[in-house]
Structure 1
């Protein structure tokens, strides 16, 4: 048996996976990009890590120096992040854009259900409440978003091959060249006009697999409320991405 030859190490292998902030360690995501023209530092879309992007000729040590020099900036950015939506008893969560209060109803049956007073009742042991809320939203998203996709596809003349939900923290949807549309299940918490915009956005990708001027012209034709929906996502999307 030949001895295993160790894989050559690179400077990236020695980079830390977190940075120490006053509140404790905070995750770092290192990215080497051939297309990046400059070294950059940003928070991830979900706000759960700081992303350092290294252009081809920039050393990891330079990226680390930038990171350490901007600790205060990272702290300020984190302080500006909206609070995550909690799936806990007493919490208020949006469903189709409407605020609902989570009520633990241990003696109830059926997992979770909504009453006429915009209360989301969750039965069973309190230890499983968060999971049951998530399962309820996933089931609702599969039904509501799936039906709406079919309706809007029929109106626009597009015919997606398949539909699936995804659990993403940075994207609301995607459309493959094969016609497979995937939507973020957290979209079920957004208002209907925002859901429609994301669905129509992905349907437009069935004709234009890019973000060209022709693509946006088509989106505007199909979705007159595009600007309002984008503004809503800009103001509230991060809270939904961090829900759970």
Structure 2
């Protein structure tokens, strides 16, 4: 019989094992520390939903847009602190704003919708008794009145924009072509997503008619850009020098297309 059972039989208390013998007491786990907040405050966007995952193999932080487009996801190495992640996200606010805008639901053309036109808001109205269309100016806004059957409203709006785009682009090309000493062979309008304009070696120009919704200086830059290809078919230093000479607003207008151009493609005319 072991000693402890004998002590119990005699009514004695068992002697506890000395340190280092028998079962060791379980160490207390520290209370969990809050890791990352569910949102991050960005100056231009407000509280943006944030999901952070740690990856033991990650050497740097990676930023992605959430699948629903309403928040962001960050993959971070184990050593990244909440403060480091927040600073990383804030540094990329412009990228986040652009991606979240792209992921926003498309704007379908219908009566009452406001779209940009030559850089200013334009309200679309259906006027059944009107033949054709009419622009009306108001205080701080303008309206486009379109007649015809309701089911053809979006197509009629698109046709109006295309006609206005052709007129603006033809005028812009006519202004800039003399600066190259050459004339365009032809000009056509398209609805391409990959590029806003193009120019062939035989000076045939093509433009996206959606450019008429951008500010006038952006349309002017696009026309100058393609006309500059009459002299330079590449995008070298000589090309950009000519482009800036034709259109001094080239840098700002180019940036506008890079950061805001996708908004024009989100407008649906089907």
Band of TM-score, shorter chain: 0.5 to 0.7
Q: Which residue of 1 aligns with 2:233?
A: 209
Compute the displacement of 1:123 (Å).
0.9
Compute the displacement of 1:103 (Å).
0.8
- Matched positions, count: 174
Query: Aligned pair 1:243/2:267, yes or no?
Result: yes
Higher RCO, 1 or 2 (CA under 8 Å, sep at least 6)? 1
Compute the displacement of 1:116 (Å).
2.2
Give the TM-score normalised by structure 1: 0.65
- For 1:49-88, what aligned pairs fall within 5 Å after superposition? 75-76=68-69, 79-81=100-102, 82-88=104-110
| Inter-partner Cα distance in structure 2 for 1:233 and 1:221 | 19
Q: Could you say what the CA RMSD is over the residues aligned between the two structures, in angstroms?
A: 2.2
Counterpart pick for 1:113 among 127, 134, 141:
134
Q: Which residue of 2 aligns with 1:129?
A: 153
Asked if structure 2 preserves the Cα contact closer than 8 Å seen for 1:102 and 1:119, the reply is yes
| Inter-partner Cα distance in structure 2 for 1:221 and 1:85 | 36
Distance 1:205 1:155, change over 3 A: closer
Counterpart pick for 1:102 among 113, 124, 127:
124
Deviating more after overlay: 77-86 vs 97-106: 77-86
- For 1:143-182, what aligned pairs fall within 5 Å after superposition? 143-182=167-206
Give the TM-score normalised by structure 2: 0.59
| Inter-partner Cα distance in structure 1 for 2:192 and 2:237 | 27
Distance 1:103 1:72, change over 3 A: closer
Compute the displacement of 1:155 (Å).
4.1
- For 1:187-206, what aligned pairs fall within 5 Å after superposition? 187-206=211-230
Counterpart pick for 2:112 among 87, 90, 93:
90
Structure 1 residues not aligned, in runs of 5+ = 1-70
Asked if structure 2 preserves the Cα contact closer than 8 Å seen for 1:85 and 1:240, the reply is no
Q: Give CA deviations for 1:114-134 in whole Å, capped at 9, x if unaligned.
A: 112211001122111101100
Q: Which residue of 2 aligns with 1:65?
A: none
Structure 2 residues not aligned, in runs of 5+ = 1-63, 70-95
Q: Give CA deviations for 1:9-40 in whole Å, capped at 9, x if unaligned.
A: xxxxxxxxxxxxxxxxxxxxxxxxxxxxxxxx
| Inter-partner Cα distance in structure 1 for 2:110 and 2:236 | 42
Asked if structure 2 preserves the Cα contact closer than 8 Å seen for 1:108 and 1:123, the reply is yes
| Inter-partner Cα distance in structure 2 for 1:103 and 1:145 | 25
